[in-house]
Homo-oligomer: A and B are copies of this chain.
Amino acid sequence: MEKKDYQSPVVGQEISCIMKNIDVSFFDDNQKLKQLVIETLNNSKFGILNSVEHEFSPQGFTMMALLSESHFALHTYPEHNAVYFSIYSCRGPKDSEPVFKELKEKLKPKEILFLNDNEIPLV
């Protein structure tokens, strides 16, 4: 396909939030948490092109996944029992919702502070 013929979808969706008051055992094993995220992204057929992660001292874990359809980010704040969650998909409207819903089901936060839940017009 030539460049001039290519058109990405014209609407994407971003959901960012803080999930609060989850079971504290999720903070004990960052690799297990990462696997939970990857499983969730796979279930929604997102293509993980690459991912990076970092464990902070004395605590806190951050990971980002570069997706064929944009990106995912998660940061933990064990000291506040809080997890920052963000997904942006440019695959179309409402496309980020299944990942948000599935991870919410898994982590069962008692409170969610929404930062952003927007559909994104590119044109």
Given the known inter-chain contacts A58-B3, A120-B18, please indicate yes or no for A88 contacting B113, CB distance below 8 A. no
Q: Which residue of B lies closest to A70 (CB)?
A: B75
Contact A66 B80 (CB under 8 A): no
Q: How far is B6's CA from A6's CA once the two chains are assembled, in angstroms?
A: 49
Contact B54 A73 (CB under 8 A): no
Q: Which residue of B lies closest to A6 (CB)?
A: B58
Number of A interface residues in the complex (CB < 8 A): 48
* Binary interface encoding of chain A residues 60-71 relative to chain B, with 1 for a CB under 8 A from any of its CBs, else 0: 101010101011
A79 within 8 A of B: yes
Residues of B within 8 A of A3 (CB): 58-59, 78-79
Contact B50 A54 (CB under 8 A): yes
Query: Which residues of A come within 8 Å of B, CB atoms?
Result: 1-3, 5-8, 10, 12, 14, 16, 18, 49-54, 56-60, 62, 64, 66, 68, 70-71, 73, 75, 77-80, 82, 84, 86, 88, 90, 113, 115-116, 118, 120-123
